[in-house]
Structure 1
Amino acid sequence: MKIPAGLQPLIDDGVIDAVLRPLKSGKEAAVYVVRSGDEIRCAKVYKDMAQRSFQQRVQYQEGRKVRGSREARAIGKATRYGRRQQETAWKNAEVDALYQLRDAGVRVPEPHGYFHGVLVMELVVDADGHSAPRLAEVELSPLQARGFHRFLVRQVVRMLCAGLVHGDLSPYNVLVAADGPVVIDFPQVVSAAGNNAARTMLLRDVNNITACLGGWAPELLDTWYGEEMWALYEAGELRPDSELTGTFAHDESMPDLEGVRDAIRDAREEALIRQQGREAAEQDPD
């Protein structure tokens, strides 16, 4: 195929030897299957951030470190220079997170380097050696759904123990490899301690996965793993191997507790519908 402009520098530098085919294209990046020596990998070419998405990303930037005070002020003021710095930070966040999470034992694609603004990493494949499908695209038995849920909750715990929250976890950024789920797409990752919205994002991450897998194993819809792990994290008691029960003692003095529970259940049930719209937007080239 014709070599995309973003990958030509990697060809020139010998980082990759050939571009085999496009894999996925979304609003923020295009992913290609590439060959590097005898290895088949994928290359994520980030697109320039559109002005319309700048304000939406402000919440994710909170708590992230930037190079200096000038860059921080520019990002805060949304100047042209600030948007360039934010774009750089947005790309670097995923690269840094992948290395950090691999070291923490989280199941993510193995990174193979970041070159000219392009992330080269492991190509996740299924049992037949084809590109692995997303969790939203597979049919599961109740037993498989329970196993996947247990595994993914454990990945979220390990992320949180490493001080990170995915921030946008859904069945559309979990791949089903031959040996189980792999979590992908981390440019929006946030600091658990440094971002005021971290708890909300964590609960949304867990609820999105629970809503998907609860379609195959409905009893999962009555679990509270996100609330349980966050309470342990706040108390300084969460460990990568902490045994979670999925139960959580809500504060009964809280006003309209049943309303809160109903809202969370509704959010879980609607998560898949929202993600379908998101998938359609991903496929829209405009």
Structure 2
Amino acid sequence: MFLKRARLARSMPKWKEEWKVWGNVFDRYTEENLVKLSKQGHITELVSPLSIGKESNIFTVASPHGTIVAKIYRVQNCNFKHMYDYIIADPRYGNIKPGKRQIILSWITREFRNIMLARQGGVTVPKPIALEGNVIMMELIDGQQLKDDAPDNPKAFLDTLLKEVATLWKAGLVHGDLSAFNVLNFQQKPVLIDFSQGSSVEAFNAQELLERDLTNVREYFRKLGVPLDVVRASKRIRQGYKPQRGRDTP
């Protein structure tokens, strides 16, 4: 064990010591995964923390791809019971056993898989780059959270956002945690982020998740003077969304 730790310490890039103070994110398991990603050519330097959360920390990363994002789950802090309740409802993971480590790693893998499926389906999301254990690497989008950057034209932005939600549904996914926190305003267009609670549209509670997402969206845009009929929008999305003409928002 001592020799393994010594080899690991020698293999860690110089930035490890500088950044480990941020949220105690660099436990040994994380270090091992960062070393693997560095050897794979995905990391040359951790640049700065974007956010420090209870269950995950997000860093900007210098890499041969340019500046990208590393989302690092703090495995010891994850609420695996909460994760299990969500993941067991997803038919893609219906046979998963309730072991803490398996649940957490399946949760992380599912998030990466959701981003890939969304992007392949034509949804505007960050490009997924790599996954290693508890670390997800993806494209950095130079936009702000919608909660901090209201759109210049709220109605047009909402219409585009609903198209994205409909495209996501057509791709077989529902976001499950859509809100002004998990939508970026990038050049006055929405970019969907944080797919950790994303589920298959075949899940028994998929419609419930969709309408919860739409309710969150409605509450944000209501403050900007733009109405949204959640039931009507949900039906349109599930049947094939088409933008409504005229003044009324779908």
Q: TM-score, normalised by structure 1?
A: 0.69
Q: CA deviation at 1:184?
A: 0.3
Residue of structure 2 in register with 1:166 after alignment: 175
CA-based RMSD of the aligned residues comes to: 2.5
Moved more, 111-120 or 97-106: 111-120
1:144-194 deviation per Cα after TM superposition (whole angstroms, max 9, x unaligned): 11111101101110111111110111100111112521100011111111x
Residue of structure 2 in register with 1:88 after alignment: 105
Contact 2:80 2:100 in 1 (8 A): no
Secondary structure of 1:182's counterpart equals strand
Q: CA deviation at 1:53?
A: 5.3
Secondary structure of 1:171's counterpart equals coil
Among 135, 141, 150, the residue aligned to 2:146: 135
Contact 2:75 2:134 in 1 (8 A): no
Residue of structure 1 in register with 2:225 after alignment: 217
Amino acid at match of 1:229: R
Amino acid at match of 1:102: R
Residue of structure 2 in register with 1:284 after alignment: none
Contact 1:32 1:44 in 2 (8 A): yes
Q: CA deviation at 1:52?
A: 5.0
Measure the CA separation in 2 of the matches of 1:3 and 1:133.
Answer: 24
Among 204, 218, 234, the residue aligned to 1:227: 234
Q: Per the alignment, do residues 223 and 205 of structure 1 end up closer, same or farther by CA in structure 2, a change over 3 Å counting?
A: closer
Measure the CA separation in 2 of the matches of 1:42 and 1:108.
Answer: 13
Contact 1:167 1:189 in 2 (8 A): yes
Q: CA deviation at 1:139?
A: 3.3
Measure the CA separation in 2 of the matches of 1:16 and 1:104.
Answer: 28
Amino acid at match of 1:65: R
Q: CA deviation at 1:225?
A: 4.2
Measure the CA separation in 2 of the matches of 1:52 and 1:98.
Answer: 21
Among 153, 156, 167, the residue aligned to 1:147: 156
Measure the CA separation in 2 of the matches of 1:23 and 1:117.
Answer: 17
Alignment: residue pair count: 220
Contact 1:207 1:226 in 2 (8 A): no
Q: TM-score, normalised by structure 2?
A: 0.78
Matched, 1:39 2:66: yes
| Structure 1, unaligned runs of 5 or more | 76-81, 126-131, 249-286
The percentage of counterpart residues that share the same residue type is 27
Matched, 1:63 2:90: yes
Q: Per the alignment, do residues 15 and 160 of structure 1 end up closer, same or farther by CA in structure 2, a change over 3 Å counting?
A: same
Amino acid at match of 1:20: V
Greater RCO structure (CA 8 Å; 6+ sep): 1
Q: CA deviation at 1:62?
A: 1.1
Measure the CA separation in 2 of the matches of 1:113 and 1:58.
Answer: 26
Measure the CA separation in 2 of the matches of 1:177 and 1:85.
Answer: 35
Q: Per the alignment, do residues 84 and 12 of structure 1 end up closer, same or farther by CA in structure 2, a change over 3 Å counting?
A: same
Amino acid at match of 2:242: E
Q: Per the alignment, do residues 216 and 90 of structure 1 end up closer, same or farther by CA in structure 2, a change over 3 Å counting?
A: same
